[in-house]
Amino acid sequence: MSSILVPAAEWSATLADPIEALTWSPDGTRVGVAGVDGRLLLLDAANGCVTRELPGHAGGAFRIAWHPRDAVVASSGQDGRVQLWDPETGANISSFPAGQKWVEHLEWSPDGAWLAAGAGRTLTLWNWQRRVVTHEIKEHSATLTELCWRGDGQRVAAASYGGIQVWDPLEGKHTDTLPCKTSLISAAWSPDNRWIVAGTQELSVQIWELPFRPGEELAMRGFANKVRQLAWHHSGRYLATGGSHDATVWDCCGAGPAGTEPERLQGHSGTVTTLDYQRSGNLLASGGADGLVLLWNFKRSITPMREFQLRSPLTRVRWSPAGTAALAGCHDGTVHLLRPPSAD
């Protein structure tokens, strides 16, 4: 792997295969990268140099996720296991099977108490303090397509065909069902815990207000493509969605977004492939199949505040914890560090 300066970024690093996942250390000094080839690399965020190469997963990697507070990195892939690594030494801290060979979904709870893994129809919940799997939940009727946590870490939602199942990680008990008559392909819980949203196979976004009351689910339609890209503003008021050449921002205050006109942020010549909001600021980063990364603050302007032209379609964009930089991962295996304007 090499690290070089490029015109659009502070640094660029190159893997051999497309970037599958990106993660930041809690202090923003290091980044984790997972490639389709299964390798896991930890980089110095200051210069893109490799600080540690982890054994990774035979057959390919799907996810890499830094613990929200502690020095531990979790990963999953096509070998059917979740691995936990010490980022300082590269030692394997723990490992556990997660139900199927393809462990496609891996999410730490916001408080760091739990690690949720999704493989096939199985949701596995691992307790960080006790270092054990506490629940292996197989009651799902279809393959899990996404996992997302409530902001307090007390509930985890699992999306699949037919809707979302919500679980209590401590008791392993089912607490709610959010129905949908089609297959869901993405999901995200709003930071204010008011909404859960999901992209569907039918080119729409389904939204449920909590606590859910049957018959009150809403749908936003009219997307050109399936909506795999969902990003919440930290206030929980604004939801950004992909599904076309535009990044679309919905206002979720009041009665919610259904029946309202969203703000359409136009700047990409290709489909939007990834979205991410700053954790505490107002900038939205959008990456597209056109190789562009655009930074937006739509409350100030519907024109992007900064543009970065990269050489390959974007697979992931992730803001640093402080919102002072964004990682951009591309299909050609490159990772770039991008800086926003000094003020948002």
CA separation, residue 87 to residues 126, 234, 284 (Å): 19, 28, 29
- Indicate the pLDDT class of residue 186, thresholds 50, 70 and 90: very high
Q: What is the pLDDT of residues 307-336, one digit of tens each?
A: 999 999 999 999 999 999 999 999 999 999
Residue range 172-184: mean pLDDT, rounded: 96
Token code pair at residue 61: 């990697």
CATH number for 229-344 (one of 3.40.630.30, 3.20.20.140, 3.40.50.150, 2.130.10.10): it is 2.130.10.10
Confidence of residue 1 (pLDDT cuts 50, 70, 90): very low
> Does position 277 have pLDDT exceeding 50, yes or no?
yes
Of 234, 146, 212, 132, the C-alpha closest to 183 is: 146
Question: In this structure, what token pair is assigned to residue 231?
Answer: 């990003």
Secondary structure (DSSP) of 244-312: SSSEEEEE-STT-STTSPPEEE---SS-EEEEEE-SSSS-EEEEETTSEEEEE-TTT-SS-SEEEE-SS
Sequence-distant (6+) residues with CB within 8 A of 130 are none
Q: How far is CA 159 from CA 70, 146, 203, 289, 323, in A?
A: 28, 5, 16, 26, 29
Average pLDDT value for residue range 274-288: 97
Residue 319: predicted pLDDT: 98
CB-based contact 109:64 (threshold 8 Å): no
pLDDT value at residue 344: 53
Instruction: Tell me if residue 62 falls in helix, strand or coil.
Output: strand
The tens digit of pLDDT for each residue in 6-58 reads: 446 899 999 878 999 999 999 999 999 998 888 899 999 999 999 999 988 98
What pLDDT is recorded for position 3?
A: 42
pLDDT at 216 (0 to 100): 83
Write down the pLDDT at residue 137. 97
Helix (H, G, I), strand (E, B) or coil at 47: coil
pTM: 0.95
Domain edges within the chain: 229-344
Query: How confident is the model over 204-241, as pLDDT tens digits?
Result: 999 999 999 988 888 898 899 999 999 999 999 999 99
Q: Is 68 left (phi over 0), alpha (psi -120 to 50) or beta?
A: alpha
Instruction: Indicate if the pLDDT at residue 2 is higher than 60.
Output: no
- What confidence score (pLDDT) does residue 268 get? 98
